[in-house]
Amino acid sequence: MRFVQTEITIDAPRSLVWQVLLDFPRYPLWNSFIHRIDGAARVGAEITEHIYFDFLPFRVLGKSFIQRIDAETFFSWQGSFVHALRPLGHGTHSFALDDIGAGATHVTHREEYRGPLVAPTFALIRRVAEPGFRKMDRDLKARAESLHGNPR
């Protein structure tokens, strides 16, 4: 298994960061990487992610299913960009939220990739995914901190 992982500390309570992450209808207000998610934030729900990569003039659609939700601590979805090719390569996208005290939250943003096409293409996957994850992390930080009243 290969993965891309980023981390960020947000000066806002975990409950607020959680609320921002699971409020899919408001993603267009703050998220410049995954600009929109269609579907419900509940285990088993099918979702469509509208993803914008800086180097593409159009969005990429991901089709996934919400895999796990642990209140205020963890949620994940599993899917792929091309459903028919899912057996050849798919990912599990997740967010882990840790309360680190003083009203702050540590977020671990990760995607684990599996399938026979992953190994030969992983360098490209990392080059594409990691900047997007970092961008989303910064956007999440800005949104949660502004809602908490301490924009950075």
pLDDT for the residue 87: 59
Query: What's the rounded Cα separation, in Å, for the pair 7 and 73?
Result: 14
Chain centre distance of CA 144: 15
Query: What's the rounded Cα separation, in Å, for the pair 131 and 35?
Result: 15
- For the chain, what percent of residues have pLDDT higher than 70? 93
Domain residue spans of the chain: 2-148
Select the more confidently predicted residue: 82 or 28.
Answer: 28
pLDDT for the residue 117: 86
pLDDT for the residue 2: 95
Instruction: Tell me the pLDDT tens digit for each residue of 106-143.
Output: 999 999 999 888 899 899 989 999 999 999 999 999 99
| Domain 2-148 coded CATH 3.30.530.20 | yes
Phi then psi for 118, rounded to 5 degrees? -65, -50
Instruction: Tell me the pLDDT tens digit for each residue of 82-103.
Output: 554 565 778 999 999 999 999 9
Is the alpha carbon torsion for 33, 100, 111, 64 positive or negative?
A: negative
